[in-house]
């Protein structure tokens, strides 16, 4: 009897087996589609993360490059200003040495008289003139002082030259 039951159930068993295989195949296909969709979404997400990271890296690199350019420009400007200051200080020292050396020149007495006349023209005829210890003259009157000393004249000459030098440095 169990053989007859088995024969009688054979078409049903075969049909159930075919149905189970079909459902299994559909489940595999659905799982494959879902897996492919998940992989595609993951790849798209990875591309988006990579693009974002790349853009962020480029922005950071641009920011760092800009900061480095600013820092370099500042360093160059500091070096340039330091060099200018050192040149100017050296020029002042040399000018002062050169003009105070004029006291040893045989023409110094004539220069001294000329500086006295210049001081009186600027400050008035009532100026009291005195020779400066480093050369030249200083004239004083109530409320007025005219410094025509050699060091002061050297400073004024350097200041004038500095203005010219700065204009040429800026062009």
CA dihedral 48, 50, 52, 53 (to 10 degrees): 160
User: Which residue range is the domain that position 20 belongs to?
Assistant: 2-170
Residues 151, 137: contact at Cβ < 8 Å? no
Q: What is the pLDDT of residues 70-111, one digit of tens each?
A: 999 999 989 988 888 888 888 889 888 888 888 999 999 999
Residue 32: what pLDDT?
82
pLDDT score of 124 more than 80? yes
Look at phi and psi of residue 124 and say left if phi exceeds 0, alpha if psi is from -120 to 50, else beta. left
**Is residue 13 exposed (0-12), middle (13-18) or buried (19+ Cβ within 10 Å)?**
exposed
Q: DSSP code of 43?
A: H
The count of structural domains within the chain is 1
Task: Name the nearest CA neighbour of 149 among 95, 106, 90.
Answer: 95
Q: What is the pLDDT of residues 126-157, one digit of tens each?
A: 999 999 999 999 999 999 999 999 999 998 88
Q: What is the pLDDT of residues 10-47, one digit of tens each?
A: 676 667 667 777 877 887 888 888 888 888 888 888 88
Buried-exposed string 54-86: b where 16+ CB fall within 10 A, e elsewhere: eeeeeeeeeeeeeeeeeeeeeeeeeeeeeeeee
Residue 110: what pLDDT?
94
Q: Please name every residue paired with 138 in a beta bridge, in sequence order, or none if there are none.
A: 130, 147
Radius of gyration of the chain (CA): 49
pTM of the model: 0.56
117 or 46: which leads in pLDDT: 117
Residue 22: what pLDDT?
82
Q: How far is CA 160 from CA 105, 137, 165, 166, 167, in A?
A: 25, 21, 9, 10, 11
Residue 171: what pLDDT?
61
Tell me how crowded residue 122 is: count the other CB atoms within 10 A of its CB.
13
Residue 1: what pLDDT?
63
128: its two tokens = 């009291």
């Amino acid at each position: 009897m169990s053989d007859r039951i088995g024969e009688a159930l054979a078409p049903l068993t075969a049909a159930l087996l075919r149905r189970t295989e079909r459902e299994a195949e559909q489940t595999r296909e659905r799982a494959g589609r879902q897996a492919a969709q998940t992989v595609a979404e993951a790849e798209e997400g990875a591309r988006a993360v990579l693009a974002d990271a790349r853009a962020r890296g480029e922005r950071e690199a641009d920011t760092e490059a800009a900061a480095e350019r600013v820092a370099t420009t500042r360093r160059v400007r500091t070096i340039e200003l330091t060099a200018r200051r050192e040149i100017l200080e050296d020029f002042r020292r040399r000018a002062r040495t050169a003009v105070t050396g004029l006291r040893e020149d045989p023409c110094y007495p004539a220069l001294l008289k000329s500086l006295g006349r210049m001081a009186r023209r600027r400050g008035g005829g009532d100026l009291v003139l005195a020779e400066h210890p480093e050369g030249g003259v200083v004239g004083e009157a109530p409320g007025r002082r005219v410094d025509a000393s050699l060091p002061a004249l050297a400073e004024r000459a350097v200041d004038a030259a500095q203005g010219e030098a700065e204009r040429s440095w800026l062009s």
